[in-house]
Structure 1
Amino acid sequence: MRHVLVTGAGGGIGRAIAEEFARDGAALTLTDRDRETLGPLLADLAAAGCPADALGADLSRPETPAELVRRAWERRGPVDVLVNAAGSYPSLDMAEVGAAEWDRLFAVNLRAPVLATAAFARRAAEHGRGGTVVNISSGSALRSRPGGGPYASSKAALEMATRAAALELGPHGIRVNAVSPGFVPVDSATNPVSAQYAAAIGTNPLGRAGTPEDIARAVRWIAGPDASWITGEILRVDGGSGTGALHLPRIWPPDPAEDPHRTCDTAPAGARATEGHPV
């Protein structure tokens, strides 16, 4: 039975990840900033015969990540999988963000998973064990949005930290990967999303928003034996939204008088003789 430590398990993606590993028969240690938010999940897991430990954790404090790993290890034995799912995504303009806001965002989204991974790796090495770390990134690591610059920066840094940790910890038998969700609506009072934003960002080739379960299944897979030769990867689980700008119109609108199925290669002469480049 694998022991899985999941941060940010009180709701949304973190809760779905915990439930997915529970169905897989794992022993669970779950954390959230407010331990009380874990109550409904703990009750559901207990009813299903999957009791779990719960720990409150303010990940903005520098000592918390290592303390979480220590307590999980001592209470339920060696941790096999660490899932850094806790995160914050406030709307902060780059021209207005203050030092305290920036520092808190990076403390939760970057420093906490880095320090938790370091503590996990040290414990594993002490016991002669390997293990697996999965960080939860975001499509914002590749492209920002108005009000999302600080958040995007934290996730871009997390993806590099994922690769760096994979490079250094691989020789010790520890795999480190990240799962990068696209738009996944969750009911969050801490990190609310407006209806206007959801409508604007929800377009992707597969035609629907993601679900927490979509992300949870990807996390379980990449943390499992079928992915045992994968490390340092960023798994994009986004309905294809990272492939390009689906919502933009064609740069050469079709002429109704001509074949509507023509390609750009059969566009009328001069159609490509325009200045600039498509985005």
Structure 2
Amino acid sequence: MEFQDKTMVITGAAGIFGGWIARYFAARGATLCLSDIRMEALEKVAADLALDPKTTLLHATELTSDASMLDLVDHVRREWKAPDILVNNAGIYTRFGLLDMDLSDWDRVFGVNLRAPFVLSREMAKLMITEKKQGSIINISSGAARKMNQNSVPYCTSKTAIERLSKGFAMELAHHGIRVNVVEPGFAPGSEVSELSDDYVANMLKNIPLGRASGPDDAAGAIAYLCSDKAAFITGAVLSVDGGNSIGNYKRPEPASTGG
């Protein structure tokens, strides 16, 4: 129960990674504020995890709306004064060619993936500073920050930018004792809004050196480490938790022939 006295805000909490992060920290005693655009989905996550409704905060947040984000911050301030941990997990992955996508699609990707983490990190950090909390901020990125993928250039670009932004926050918040780090989770079937075919999943798994998809405890465990006292001297770091998928192109060796 190492996080028993900690309060934690998770955006995108109704998604696959958000749900895994919530489960991991709830099991270790953290008091949670779950944020997502879908209130019904948040209520289901809270019910599935048997979270105490008296202490758990749920907030339907539109991350492209300043008013909605500031309402989330104010909700946290009223209930907790300040959080101990913020995880900017929410993200949008789109498949558009640059010549075909609407400007509104570009703006939404950068609004959710980059501007929202900036606004929430800044405003939650202000609460931490006021309350003299040496908190922790985790921004969720992707191996796509370092590897461009065709038809997902806005996503890749936004993830490169969030890693640079995180380092900037790490520098500016260091003298307040607030640490800012990045986790790059690995591939997890079902982590995208669009359904993935069996062939697509099988092909992705073949390209992962450690030979499997991300599981419920992988990224969540890395986040827990970075938020713990064990990582008290770590800030501005980027931790890949992807089975080696972002190292480079990988081809799994063919099974050795047993002869005949």
Alignment match, 1:209: 213
- Taking the aligned partners of 2:235 and 2:70, their CA distance within structure 1 comes to 22
State the structure with more CA Rg: 1
2:183·2:223 contact (CA, 8 Å) conserved in 1? yes
Which of residues 133, 137, 159 in structure 1 aligns to 2:137? 133
- Taking the aligned partners of 2:51 and 2:178, their CA distance within structure 1 comes to 33
Q: 1:7 to 1:106 in 2, by over 3 A?
A: same
Deviations 1:73-129 (A, max 9, x none): 212342000001111101111222221110011000000011100001111222222
Which of residues 4, 8, 14 in structure 2 aligns to 1:10? 14
Alignment of 1:200 with 2:203, yes or no, is yes
1:221·1:227 contact (CA, 8 Å) conserved in 2? yes
Normalised TM-score (structure 1): 0.83
Which letter maps to 1:52?
T
1:13·1:213 contact (CA, 8 Å) conserved in 2? no
Q: 1:44 to 1:233 in 2, by over 3 A?
A: same
Q: 1:191 to 1:87 in 2, by over 3 A?
A: farther
Alignment match, 1:80: 84
Which of residues 146, 151, 163 in structure 2 aligns to 1:147? 151
1:124·1:130 contact (CA, 8 Å) conserved in 2? yes
Which of residues 25, 40, 43 in structure 2 aligns to 1:39? 43
Q: 1:47 to 1:6 in 2, by over 3 A?
A: closer
Which letter maps to 1:122?
K
Which letter maps to 1:118?
R
- Taking the aligned partners of 1:193 and 1:159, their CA distance within structure 2 comes to 27
Q: How far is 1:26 from its partner?
A: 0.7
Alignment of 1:178 with 2:182, yes or no, is yes
Which letter maps to 1:86?
A
Alignment match, 1:218: 222
Task: Tell me how large the CA RMSD over aligned residues is.
Answer: 2.1
Which letter maps to 2:196?
V
Q: 1:150 to 1:195 in 2, by over 3 A?
A: farther
Deviations 1:6-45 (A, max 9, x none): 1111130001101111111011110111111012211133
- Taking the aligned partners of 2:235 and 2:203, their CA distance within structure 1 comes to 33
**SS class of match (2:187):** coil
2:88·2:140 contact (CA, 8 Å) conserved in 1? yes
Number of residue pairs the alignment of both structures matches: 249
Deviations 1:224-258 (A, max 9, x none): 11111100011000101122211289xxxxxxxxx
Alignment of 1:23 with 2:27, yes or no, is yes
Q: Which of 1-10 and 127-136 deviates more? A: 127-136
2:209·2:244 contact (CA, 8 Å) conserved in 1? yes
Normalised TM-score (structure 2): 0.89
Q: How far is 1:158 from its partner?
A: 0.4
Aligned pairs for 1:253-264 (under 5 A) are none
Which letter maps to 1:222?
L
- Taking the aligned partners of 1:224 and 1:230, their CA distance within structure 2 comes to 10
Alignment match, 1:274: none
Q: How far is 1:194 from its partner?
A: 4.1
**Identity across matched positions, percent:** 37
